[in-house]
Amino acid sequence: MATAIEFNNVSKQYRLGLVSTKTLSHDLQRWWAMNIMGKEDPYLKIGSENDRATKADSEYVWALKDIDFKVEQGDVIGIIGRNGAGKSTLLKLLSKVTGPTTGTIRARGRIGSLLEVGTGFHPEMTGRENIFLNGAILGMTKAEISRKLDEIVDFSGCERYIDTPVKRYSSGMTVRLGFAVAAFLEPEILVVDEVLAVGDAEFQKKAIGKMQNVSQGEGRTVLFVSHNMASIRQLCQNGILLKNGRIEYMGTATDTVATYLSGFGDTMCYHADITMEHREYSDTSREIELLSVSLSNNGDDYATDQPLDLYVRMFKHKKNIQSATLEVMFNNRMRERLGSYISGPIDLTGVDGEFTVHVRIENHNFAKGTYSICFQIGQKDIQLGLKDYDIVHNVLFFTVAYSHMQKKDSIVLWRNDWGSTVFQGTAEIVQAK
């Protein structure tokens, strides 16, 4: 199959600080304040509202940065991400509404974008007239629209009102009409932005069915932006997760949605003070309580061959505990258990109260990706019996990255025996009171 869309290192930059204030007088005031009076820009706040937290001090913001991907023909790609992640900017670039700052976008075939509710509709014109106008805006010829008119009207379910001005339509009807026109546009590439949110259930079903037909039956490519994870999963084969203008994850739609939902794609977490939220089972005795956990390198991604250093701060409440076993469990982004490290019995005889254990895990061979860590402190001694003092789940999140930063997830370095893997490492008390 041929490539339908290709994004090649595409970036889009918006200038924040000096966004026009829209009137000459404001700009003159700014010029006066900044250059003559030496004050701060009085209108800077207007721009910085759009700002991302990470670049608060910068005049420029990258709405998209180094976007690089290919879409195969006939593929339905779901694009997800938080508000402001760059989803709409990406579609805007593709539909030529605004130009990229760097990079090239190539596409094969006509690109049709699905307008938001009734954009391009003129309220004073009838449904029929608007079908023609809307179709032409989307790039159809008059003849094409005439040929499909009956189908469009039928699909929209607005036959009765087709000669009524659109301003008399309900918002649902307007959306249906708009979607119907776009659905029969038959572009090779269809760009859909968050339209299925409106319309009744029956119409949504219809629309989803149509989109599936479009991609499967007719081999067309669909880019679909939505916050509705269910429809992403239902409609799309593959997904792209955007975060702060970068591609955070790319894979099957199900995986992408899972990544997004699990919050893995959002924040890495290298240090956590344990709260009750981390404990799935609150009925543990907590004779030894986990206080805080942290990964040694602050904020940096790990390399595959780099050992992991973990510091676990705990508090021993019961004096007579002689030893305990610490288990560190690793989950993938789907929160599936990959393996764990189990320390030997750690001698706690000389410990009273707070202490910290340093765990070093070597040769973990994690593939590029995001992982979470769970901790468990307890007794694993057969003779003393199994006992859990405290368990916390998914408290730390970290990323393993190759030095050569491959764009796609590779499974080259996956170990075949995942699931039964026991990590090798050391555990020692480094600090005790």
What is the contact surface with another protein in residues (CB under 8 A)? 2-3, 14-15, 19-20, 22-25, 27, 92-111, 113, 115-116, 119-120, 122, 124-125, 129, 132-133, 136-142, 165
C-alpha distances (whole Å) from 137 to each of 113, 127, 259, 264, 340 are 10, 15, 37, 40, 58
Return the number of the residue (61 or 373) whose C-beta is nearest another protein: 61
Coil, helix or strand at residue 330: strand
Return the number of the residue (106 or 337) whose C-beta is nearest another protein: 106
Return the number of the residue (167 or 337) whose C-beta is nearest another protein: 167
Return the number of the residue (2 or 382) whose C-beta is nearest another protein: 2
Q: What sign has the CA pseudo-torsion 247, 85, 258, 216? A: negative
In the complex, what is the shortest distance from the CB of residue 72 to another protein, in angstroms, rounded to a whole number? Answer: 13
Residue type, 429: I
Q: Using CA atoms, how far apart are residues 102 and 10, in angstroms rounded to an integer?
A: 6
* Token pair for 60: 């420029």
Max intra-chain CA distance, the chain: 88
- Pairing outcome for strands 369-379 and 387-400: antiparallel
Return the number of the residue (69 or 132) whose C-beta is nearest another protein: 132
Q: What is the CA radius of gyration of the chain?
A: 28
In the complex, what is the shortest distance from the CB of residue 5 to another protein, in angstroms, rounded to a whole number? Answer: 9
Spell out the SS3 assignment of 127-170: HHHHHHHHHHHCCCCHHHHHHHHHHHHHHHCCHHHCCCEHHHCC
The kind and range of the H/E element at 211 are helix 201-216
* Token pair for 27: 């700009």
In the complex, what is the shortest distance from the CB of residue 114 to another protein, in angstroms, rounded to a whole number? Answer: 9
Spatial strand order of the sheet with 271-273 comes to 271-273, 288-295, 308-316, 353-361, 425-432
In the complex, what is the shortest distance from the CB of residue 199 to another protein, in angstroms, rounded to a whole number? Answer: 18
Return the number of the residue (103 or 157) whose C-beta is nearest another protein: 103
DSSP secondary structure code for residue 362 in this structure? -
In the complex, what is the shortest distance from the CB of residue 424 to another protein, in angstroms, rounded to a whole number? Answer: 48
In the complex, what is the shortest distance from the CB of residue 92 to another protein, in angstroms, rounded to a whole number? Answer: 7
Which of 352, 348, 366 has its CA nearest to residue 402?
366
In the complex, what is the shortest distance from the CB of residue 93 to another protein, in angstroms, rounded to a whole number? Answer: 7
In the complex, what is the shortest distance from the CB of residue 29 to another protein, in angstroms, rounded to a whole number? Answer: 12
Which of 338, 324, 325, 310 has its CA nearest to residue 423?
338
Which of 159, 215, 218 has its CA nearest to residue 192?
215
Q: Using CA atoms, how far apart are residues 78 and 191, in angstroms rounded to an integer?
A: 10
Burial class (CB in 10 A: 0-12, 13-18, 19+), 202: exposed
Residues 6+ apart with CB under 8 A from 196: 204, 207, 208, 226, 228, 231
